[in-house]
Amino acid sequence: MKLFDVYPINDINITRALGSRVWDNHGKEYMDLYGGHAVISIGHCHPHWVNRIKDQLDKIAFYSNSIKIPLQEELASTLGEVSGKKEFELFLCNSGAEANENALKLASFHTGRKKIIAFKKAFHGRTSLAVAATDNPAIIAPVNETDNISFLPFNDSDSLRAHFKSEGNQIAAVIVEGIQGVGGINVASDIFLQTIRACCDEYGAVYIADSVQCGYGRSGIFFSHDAAGVEADIYSMAKGMGNGFPIGGIIISPKIKAKHFMLGTTFGGNHLACAAALAVLEVIRDEPLMPNAAAVGNYLQQKLTSIPEISGVRGRGLMIGFDVSETHKNLKKDLLFKHSIFTGEAKPNVIRLLPSLALSMEDASLFISSLKKAIEQYQP
């Protein structure tokens, strides 16, 4: 049997990983500034994470949500402590799309309404409603098309207010990334997020903070949205939550009440996933990873801004994007194949940096010198 060919892939076979480094099957070392789509939060194969998963495997890996799973309660309590959202409640699932799907569904249950506001260049995942709220017609199958989603311009408070004025009493939710990831690292302004909060309060809609990529400390604070000084009603999470172990979830404001069977899952919140997610939170709590992300991120942005061949340096913490000109459009490939550095990209010609939150200053500085060399050696 062959694999269903849905990914353009690099011909590299990674067989080992530690911290911000990965190695291929020939022993060649790479610096990883991508973390496999922003997934690696505490560093590849962090020893505490490895040991906690191994210990859990020796006890029990899975049982369904028909029984009490104390690890879920421990996870909720540690997440409340580390994120500062102690009064929120946790629902666990397996991926970012599923987290957003549940968030949107819950908002609709809560309000009894159908309409959703999403934004241009948004990416929320590939399940039915999450993909319908994603601004990329190429990945929306006919069965997922719906008139219930309106795409408004990102960071445009006036058009948001105008839209609420015309159909505010039909709107169930506004879903927004704190920093658009797939869309090219676009930071939501404080005033924009404050306007979302104000409109949702005025019209009784639910503010959903998609924190799947920008959350879990990546921006230097736990939820990047909270930099605006207002709180969302639901935060969706995945990627960094398990440091590579598949787990997602939403945390829900106490104003939204649970009812039996409104949400559900077979695998979500299983013992092994909870152990992995607890290990991640314990490391974020006990090691200064968020301040490190802020400091190393500032350093990177400052150095990148001084390189004349690149422009539009933007982001927060260790979620950084910059534009390269059309003549430098192969820079990402050169960084990978000539300088052994994984980075991410977004269309057109944006390079995205999404390393582990434990990236050291030395590695950041090594990246800057390699980037300068790659630009010097660049042959269009």
Ligand X SMILES: Cc1ncc(COP(=O)(O)O)c(C=O)c1O
**C-alpha pair distances (Å), 207 with each of 36, 67, 108, 202, 299:** 28, 31, 12, 12, 32
Comparison of 110 and 124: residue with beta carbon closer to ligand X: 124
Alpha helices in the chain (DSSP H): 35-38, 47-59, 70-83, 96-111, 128-132, 157-167, 190-203, 271-286, 289-305, 331-337, 361-376
Query: Minimum CB separation from ligand X for residue 137, in Å?
Result: 17
Query: Minimum CB separation from ligand X for residue 108, in Å?
Result: 18
Comparison of 188 and 371: residue with beta carbon closer to ligand X: 188
| Window 299-338: contact mask with ligand X (x via CB under 6 A) | ----------------------------------------
**C-alpha pair distances (Å), 165 with each of 108, 172, 173, 195, 311:** 19, 14, 14, 13, 37
Comparison of 97 and 304: residue with beta carbon closer to ligand X: 97
| Residue of 19, 96, 178, 240 interacting with ligand X (CB under 6 A) | 96
| Residue of 21, 37, 105, 372 interacting with ligand X (CB under 6 A) | 37
Applying CB under 6 A, the span of 57-65, 80-88, 120-128, 370-378 interacting with ligand X comes to: 120-128
Q: Is 213 in the site for ligand X (CB under 6 A)?
A: yes
Applying CB under 6 A, the span of 61-69, 93-101, 316-324, 334-342 interacting with ligand X comes to: 93-101
DSSP class of residue 345 equals: E
Applying CB under 6 A, the span of 76-84, 89-97, 257-265, 282-290 interacting with ligand X comes to: 89-97
Q: Is 135 in the site for ligand X (CB under 6 A)?
A: no
DSSP letters spanning 134-202: SS-GGG--GGG--TTEEEE-TT-HHHHHHHHHHHGGGEEEEEEESEETTTT-EEPPHHHHHHHHHHHHH
Q: Is 124 in the site for ligand X (CB under 6 A)?
A: yes
Query: Minimum CB separation from ligand X for residue 350, in Å?
Result: 14
Query: Minimum CB separation from ligand X for residue 263, in Å?
Result: 16
Q: Is 182 in the site for ligand X (CB under 6 A)?
A: yes
Comparison of 37 and 105: residue with beta carbon closer to ligand X: 37
Q: Which helix (H) or strand (E) holds 206?
A: strand 206-210
Comparison of 23 and 267: residue with beta carbon closer to ligand X: 267
Applying CB under 6 A, the span of 42-50, 74-82, 117-125, 296-304 interacting with ligand X comes to: 117-125
**C-alpha pair distances (Å), 156 with each of 66, 232, 238, 248:** 45, 18, 27, 29
Query: Minimum CB separation from ligand X for residue 178, in Å?
Result: 9
- Closest to 242 measured CA to CA, from 269, 220, 261, 205: 269
Q: Is 105 in the site for ligand X (CB under 6 A)?
A: no
| Residue of 238, 280, 283, 320 interacting with ligand X (CB under 6 A) | 238
Comparison of 1 and 6: residue with beta carbon closer to ligand X: 6
- Closest to 117 measured CA to CA, from 201, 174, 177, 179: 174
Distance between CA atoms of 343 and 335, rounded to whole angstroms? 8
Q: Between the CA atoms of 272, 275, 277 and 283, what dihedral angle is there, to the nearest 10 degrees? A: -150
Q: Is 95 in the site for ligand X (CB under 6 A)?
A: yes
Angle between helices 70-83 and 271-286 (to 10 degrees): 30
Phi, psi of 238 (to 5 degrees): -165, -120
Comparison of 132 and 371: residue with beta carbon closer to ligand X: 132
- Give the total of residues touching ligand X (CB under 6 A): 15
User: Residue 83 contacts by C-beta under 8 Å, 6 or more apart in sequence?
Assistant: 222, 223, 235, 251
Residue nearest to ligand X (CB): 96
Binding-site ranges for ligand X (CB under 6 A)? 37, 95-97, 100, 123-125, 177, 181-182, 210, 212-213, 238
